[in-house]
Amino acid sequence: MNQVNGVLACIDGSRYSKAVCDYAAWISLGLEAPLTLLHNIEHSAIAALPDLSGAIGLGSREALLEELTEVEAKRSRLMLEQGKIMLDAARERAISAGVAVPKLKQRHDGLTESLIALEQSIQVLVLGIRGEEHEQDAVHLGSHLESSIRALHRPILVVNSDFKEPQQIMLAYDGSHASGKALELFIGSKRFTHLPVHLVTVGESAQDAKRIQSAALHDLTTAGHQVTAAILEGEPSDTLHAYQVENEIDLTLMGAFSHTRLREWVLGSMTVKMLLSSSRPLLLLR
């Protein structure tokens, strides 16, 4: 089994790729961890041809299938070359940001399958909220994003805006196991050393929220962080988004999909709602 050893950034042709590269470089430098840039090429199966031998002859059908195979092979070569060009540009951008030797990787597989295969070597994953095929769709997540978040048990930074070095950090904390992992990451990571943090709890009674926040406040202040604690009422995703805007939050840490499937089905997933509403990146932990 490979050792967890670095930051992995997913690069494609979307408008988020430059920011993905920038945030990945920022994390890599802060953690003093190597950076790998990944370009993934999805498999594209050739559609099955109907049996037209009685109408146009068997030879014609075989010739068409052969031509389609050649077209697909040419398409794959072009996508491979395009990916290499994007990776080379991303490497130069990361080097300009201060990363010494970014590694480049290409894979032929579904993105989620590729990430599962690489999971043991991922310390932090960075990817855009939407890929190039869906970047104009502002009301849905990218086709692979939710499945990748659910499949992996690594911190995932979802990039949804141009790079801005995070100064104002929010930790959305509800006392769950996943939010506890977000707390541990924030305290234990070199990237966040001495940065101030907003500890925000939503949707609990004041008494329960104070109890939930008590240990977290102690751990954060003991670690040397300046903490602004907030207990808010309202629908969690809307309330957290409003707090982000009001306090100019640059990066939010939160647990992902910590409720049961039944509760998500009845109430809707807060994680998805936050991803869709937030205008700044989210660092998610499961």
Dihedral (CA of 169, 195, 184, 143) sign: positive
Rounded to 5 degrees, φ, ψ at 9 are: -115, 130
CB 172 within 8 A of CB 240: yes
| Superfamily of domain covering 164-286 | HUPs (3.40.50.620)
Rounded to 5 degrees, φ, ψ at 159 are: -95, 130
What tokens appear for 115 in the block? 């990430």
Rounded to 5 degrees, φ, ψ at 243 are: -65, -40
Please name every residue paired with 40 in a beta bridge, in sequence order, or none if there are none.
107
H/E stretch holding 276 reads helix 270-277
pLDDT at 267: 38
pLDDT at 220: 96
pTM for the whole thing?
0.83
| Topology (CATH) of 1-47+59-162 | Rossmann fold (3.40.50)
Q: What is the DSSP string of 100-113?
A: S--EEEEEES-HHH
CB 250 within 8 A of CB 169: yes
Segments of the chain assigned to CATH 3.40.50.620: 1-47+59-162, 164-286
What tokens appear for 124 in the block? 């932090």
Rama region for 255: left / alpha / beta (φ>0; ψ in -120 to 50; rest): beta
The closest of 22, 4, 40 to 157, measured between CA atoms, is 22
pLDDT at 261: 41
The closest of 220, 286, 226 to 258, measured between CA atoms, is 286
CB 284 within 8 A of CB 255: yes
- Taking the alpha carbons at both ends of the chain, their separation in whole angstroms is 21
Per-residue confidence in pLDDT tens, the chain, 286 aa: 445 579 999 999 888 999 999 999 999 999 999 999 999 987 654 444 455 445 455 566 677 777 777 776 777 777 778 889 999 999 999 999 999 999 999 998 888 999 999 999 999 999 999 765 555 555 556 667 888 888 899 999 999 999 999 999 999 998 888 889 999 999 999 999 989 999 999 977 889 999 999 999 999 999 999 999 999 998 888 899 999 999 999 999 998 865 544 334 333 477 888 888 888 999 999 8
